[in-house]
Amino acid sequence: MVSRARRSKARKKVSNLPKVTLQTRVAPGAEYKRVLAIALALPGVEESTAYGTPGLKVKGKILARLRTEAEGALALRCDFVDRQILLQADPDAFFVTDHYLNYPMILVRLKKVRQSALRDLIERAWRMVAPAKLVAEHDTQSKRKKADTSRS
């Protein structure tokens, strides 16, 4: 049996350890910064963490997260039909692990995916997790912007 003094001393040792911050665990590269720029332009998207890694959420729902387990990969929300199409179309850029087989996400190798495809994928993922009202407002604003630019 451990005495109270020993338990107290053990707690002090643990509390004196440096806290691991997100920056010490993961140093997001330029590819993730592009993801941030695209995603944060959409309404309601906020930087967060998911499972201890940098992530993006909309109203508390995970949109995407950077995976430290797979260097340079982004776990991105994606429906199963789109995921199957992407896996067949570009297996160098897209993959899935056993962990994600039954979950609507796809893993994206950020160094291999085309910028235009990434923008589209992020917006599709956003539409899956954003509240319907937010999506409708975004669509209305987008239509107005297109109408304004076509008049110019």
Under-50 pLDDT residues of the chain: 7, 10-26
* Residue span of the structural domain in which 73 resides: 27-138
Provide the number of structural domains found in the chain.
1
| CB contact at 8 A, 45 and 63 | yes
Answer yes or no: is 64 within a domain: yes
* Three-state DSSP state, 35: helix
Residue 3 lies in a domain: no
- Evaluate whether residue 14 is within a structural domain: no
Distance CA 115, CA 35 (A): 9
Number of residues written out for the chain: 152
Question: Which positions ≥6 away from 96 have C-beta within 8 Å?
Answer: 83, 87, 105, 106, 107
pLDDT tens sequence across 92-135: 999 999 989 999 999 999 999 998 999 999 999 999 999 999 99
Q: What is the domain-level CATH number for residue 67?
A: 3.90.1150.30
Identify the pLDDT of residue 29: 82
Whole-number pLDDT of residue 104: 96
34 falls within a domain: yes
Please give the pLDDT value at position 26.
42
d(CA 70, CA 44): 27
pLDDT of amino acid 23? 35
Is residue 21 in some structural domain?
no
2: its two tokens: 């451990």
In a domain, 9, yes or no: no
- Residue 133 maps to a domain: yes
Angle at Cα 32 formed by Cα 121 and Cα 36, nearest 5°?
70
